[in-house]
Amino acid sequence: MTDMAETGDGSWGHLAETEHFGRACTKYVLVPKADLGLPKYCGSTHAGHCLIFSRTEEKIFGIYQARALILMQLRFDGYMGFPGGIINDGEDILSGLNRELFEEMNLDVLKHPVKEDHYVITHWCPSKKLFLHFYALEVSIDELKVIEAEAIKAHDFGTETLGTFRLPLYTMGDGYRGFPAFLSHSYVGNAREQLLYTLQHLSIMTSEEIDKVVGARPVQMSIEENEEETHM
C-alpha cells in the first residue's frame, strides 16, 4: 500500500499550519527596520535566519581561493537554507533566532549569541505577510569547525535539518562548476538572494564578481569530446 504522505495529496500532519511559509513567493520587498511598525505590516509573521561564517585565505586543492567558510543546511523539504525559523508569539526577533539556532544547530548561544550588531537586511513577502530578518555571525575557523561538529547533535537534526555544509565560493576552470553550479540548486524563500547580498555586504565578493557568477552557464561538451567519452 502506498503511504499517503508520498503521494503529494496534501498530507502535512503537524506542519499544516506553517507549510505555506515554505512555498514560493513571487515578490520580496526590502523593508528598512524603521518601517517595521507601520500599520500595513500589522499582523505579519516574522522569521529570522543567520549566515555563520569564517574568513579564510585557504586554497581548495591548492588552486581555488576559498574566500570564506559559510554554513548552510539541507532542509527537511529538500530545499537549501540558512539556520533559523519562525519567531514565536511573545518572542523578540533575536531571542527567537537564537532559540532556533540552538534547536537546529546546537549552537552555544551563550558563547556565540546573535546580536543586533550582526543584522544585515529584512525582506517582506506581501502574499504571505511574512518578514524575513537576516543576520551574519562571524566566528574563527576553529570555532566554525566546532559548530559544524556540534550540529549533528542538535535537537532538530534528522527532522527539520538533514545536514550542515560549506559553500564552494570559487569558480573552477570551466567557468561554471563551483559557486555558479551551486547557485543552480533550489533554495527556500529568498535564501539565494540573502546569500548574494550578504557576500557583498561583508566584502567577501564584489558586485562584479557576483554578477559574473550569476551569469555563468554550463559549458557543453563538443560532439568530438562526447563521442570520445562514450567510447572510453
The interaxial angle of helices 207-215 and 191-201, nearest 10 deg, is 150
- Average pLDDT of the chain, as a whole number: 91
pLDDT at position 141:
97
Task: Enumerate the H helices of 19-116 as residue ranges.
Answer: 93-105
Instruction: For each of the domains in the chain, give its residue range(s) and CATH number, in order of start.
Output: 30-218 (3.90.79.10)
- In this structure, how many other beta carbons lie within 10 angstroms of the beta carbon of residue 199? 25
pLDDT at position 2:
42
* Residue pLDDT, tens place only, 54-87: 999 999 999 999 999 999 999 999 999 999 999 9
- Enter the C-alpha cell of residue 207: 558586485
pLDDT at 6 over 50: no
- Enter the C-alpha cell of residue 19: 507549510
| C-alpha span between 53 and 141 (Å, rounded) | 8
DSSP 50: E
The number of C-alpha atoms within 13 Å of 15 and in the hemisphere containing its C-beta is: 13
pLDDT at 224 over 80: no
* Residue pLDDT, tens place only, 136-149: 999 999 999 999 99
Bigger pLDDT: 24 or 111?
Answer: 111
pLDDT at position 180:
98
Torsion of CA 115, 121, 126, 130, to 10 degrees: -20
pLDDT at position 1:
39
Decide if 60 contacts 170 (C-beta within 8 A).
yes
pLDDT at position 5:
42
- In this structure, how many other beta carbons lie within 10 angstroms of the beta carbon of residue 154? 20
Cα 147 to chain centroid distance, Å, stands at: 16
pLDDT at 39 over 60: yes
- For the chain, percent of residues with pLDDT exceeding 90: 81
